[in-house]
Chains A and B, each alone.
Chain A
Amino acid sequence: MSEGAKTSANGGGFRFKVRGPRDFYGGLALIALAIIAIWASGDLPGTHGFAFGPGTAPRLFAGLLAIVGALVALGGLLFDGPPLDSYAIRGPAWVILAILAFAGMIRGFNLGFVSIPPLGLVPSTFAAFMISIFGSSEMRWIESLIAAAVMTAFCVGLFVYLLQLPFQLWPWY
């Protein structure tokens, strides 16, 4: 059906074709998530007498998720489905980079090996806008710079002056 991946069974050399790779790998990811959750909540006390402990519900739902995930994966193995969709790199990369830039610049950060001081709302907003612009192939420099400036001014006006949120505006104040 698809050009999707194949898994080989042990022993006899049978090759199963994954018929619905979207469901198959989606299901596998859910199982992985469930295993992580069970592992992460493993140190929490469980049911004590009649009372649930903090660990009971997470393990309960993680167990259910593992079962449902397995069923989804099994469905993907047995039934025809659409092939895996290709992932775009450019859009997601620049969008995420823009968001991270905003998060890093607004209050500054210190990771030990690299640190930047708090830069405030104005540089952060402007930078996030300009970085995210690169996510589209249709970008134009002059237009983008003007739009970034307008948007920054609008945000400062709306959030700081109109809604009175306590934001630091500039690196020095």
Chain B
Amino acid sequence: MSELLANLALGFSVAAHPYNIGFCLLGALVGTLVGVLPGIGTVATVAMLLPITFGLPPVGALIMLAGIYYGAQYGGSTTSVLVNIPGEATSVVTCLDGHQMARQGRAGAALSIAAIGSFFAGCVSTVLVAALGVPLTSIALLFGPAEYFSLMVLGLIFAVVLAKGSVLKAIAMILTGLLLSMVGSDLETGAGRMTFDIAELSDGIGFTNVAMGVFGFAEIIRNLEMSQESRDIVKAKIKGLMPTRQDLIDSSGAIARGTILGSLLGILPGGGAVVASFAAYTFEKRISRTPERFGRGAIEGVAAPESANNAAAQTSFIPLLTLGIPPNAVMALMVGAMTIHGIVPGPQVMTKQPELFWGMIASMWLGNLMLVIINLPLVGVWVSLLRVPYRLLYPSIIVFCCIGIYSINNSPTDVVIAAIFGLVGYWLTKHEFEPAPLVLAFVLGPLMEENLRRAMLIARGDATVFATRPISAGLLAVALFLLVLAALPMIRKRRDEVFVE
């Protein structure tokens, strides 16, 4: 316990450094600013803003990225409430009741309760991350190549389960992502693989190029197809920023339950935040004495999913920081950022760079505090930003992305590759393939291949090693179970019902 406090104290001494507070504040501000734009989700926001952290020292850069992440997530909720356009999957449920509240002129209350719920969830889950970090790191030491491989399989299966639509198509996307990640030099022999003798491909395809292409550019192309009305926004005046005493009483239970549910689901690899918000909403509705109020502006319907997704966002750092495995696309971007700064994510981060590890944990709490500070007074500003017409907004986003990609390697080829992936992303949505599993697999690809090769070598070519080592076998069994569960059409139907409500 005292060790935990000492560690947290170390963390806060790092995070509370004026520079780092500044980075955190700036990150949360910019993240909210970009995340609030309709049609730009958390992943796109983080991908876009990643380059601006490159010039910073590693600790500052990661703290700023964490700030951007929370900001983007909160920004997404703001858009959901005000304009009924979820910027990302996690705020889809927030739309249901949040937007109804906005129509009743209670957007202020909805936004405030979302901020308060998120802050409470953030406080609880920060302590949880700090408490679970150490024990989970010791578990990580039991992991050999076979276990790592199986764990990554589990993570990818989670991405499959959570993808909308067909399980088979999500698996296809995973395989495509793995295949794309193998372009470039071989890890062990340095042989150029599938490079078609193009010199620029010998280093592989950059992750940012893929992410900005399939998320950023493809999103813009898709939005341009839509008519103007579908992007239109509520022009109603927001009256009364603060929730009433009754609102607070109504939502306190929902916030607590959402926090617990979110914290638990966030630890699982594979994108816990989305499930968390859906699960919290469904749970609230089920236990409510007046379920008919849900979908008509019930404040619990905003409080629970918002708390849950923030708690999950926080605890999803656990697999990243302790095992080095990104549980979702945003964390995958974080791995990219760490690698650029020369940090290999994993259990050694905590022992070798304790100030980074604990600083980041402390900055999570600070990031949440920043969100409350920034967002409560700035709601009016976000609304006015939404009034920028899309015909001026999207060229700005394109230019911003171009410069961002170019700045990573000063390479125009990277920009061209991103453009190609923009078209690929557009094609994927036309055929109802989801890009998120592809991107996650693209990031995990090299790690997976390395561990697969190592495990096979150690086992002297015996592929049964994955089933005979207990931890590995357990992980694969869970993965298989999940896959079966997702493939059962009945479950699918039930999932769609949640969506329809």
Contacts and interface: CB of A to CB of B under 8 A. Distances in A.
Q: Tell me what chain B mostly uses at the interface: helix, strand, loop, or mixed.
A: helix
A85 B224 CA distance: 15
Q: How large is the interface on B (under 10, 10 to 19, 20 to 34, 35 or more residues)?
A: 35 or more
Contact of A133 (B391, B430, B461): B391
A155 B403 contact: yes
Contact of B453 (A51, A100, A147): A51
A68 B438 CA distance: 14
Given A88-B224, A133-B395, A102 B415 contact: yes
Contact of A99 (B217, B389, B456): B217
Interface in A43-74: 44-45, 49-58, 61-62, 64-65, 68-69, 71-72
A162 B95 CA distance: 36
Given A51-B453, A61-B182, A135-B224, A129 B399 contact: yes
B186 interface: yes
Contacts, number: 201
Given A33-B176, A163-B55, A103 B412 contact: yes
A103 to B, nearest CB: 4
B481 interface: no
Interface string B388-399: 011110111011
Interface in A109-135: 109, 121, 124-125, 128-130, 132-133, 135
A128 B457 contact: no
Given A95-B398, A103-B416, A128-B398, A65 B179 contact: yes
Contacts of A102: 399, 402-403, 406, 415
B480 interface: no
Interface in B19-33: none
B403 A68 contact: no
A155 B412 contact: no
Contacts of B410: 107, 166
A104 interface: yes
B392 A22 contact: no
B415 A99 contact: yes
Contacts of B433: 26
B430 A84 contact: yes
A139 interface: yes
Contact of B221 (A72, A92, A133, A163): A92
Given A49-B461, A61-B182, A72-B168, A136 B391 contact: yes
A98 B398 contact: yes
Contacts of B3: none
B431 A22 contact: yes
Contact of A40 (B168, B171, B196): B196
A165 interface: yes
B457 A51 contact: yes
Given A99-B415, A103-B415, A58 B179 contact: yes
B178 A99 contact: no
A143 interface: yes
B178 A139 contact: no
A173 to B, nearest CB: 16
Nearest to B171: A68
B415 A98 contact: no
Given A71-B168, A91-B221, A61 B461 contact: no
Given A40-B194, A155-B400, A85 B430 contact: yes
A10 interface: no
User: Taking each of B55, B175, B225, B418, which has the highest tally of chain A beta carbons within 10 Å of its own beta carbon?
Assistant: B175
B323 interface: no
A128 B172 CA distance: 34
Contacts of A62: 179
Q: Which of B188, B225, B395, B452 has the most CB of A within 10 A?
A: B395
B430 A99 contact: no
Interface string A149-161: 0011001001100
Given A68-B171, A95-B422, 16 more contacts: A22-B431, A29-B431, A50-B460, A51-B457, A52-B452, A54-B193, A57-B452, A96-B422, A99-B398, A103-B413, A125-B399, A129-B399, A136-B390, A148-B395, A159-B403, A159-B407
11 contacts: A25-B431, A44-B193, A52-B453, A54-B193, A88-B225, A92-B422, A124-B402, A138-B390, A144-B395, A147-B396, A165-B407
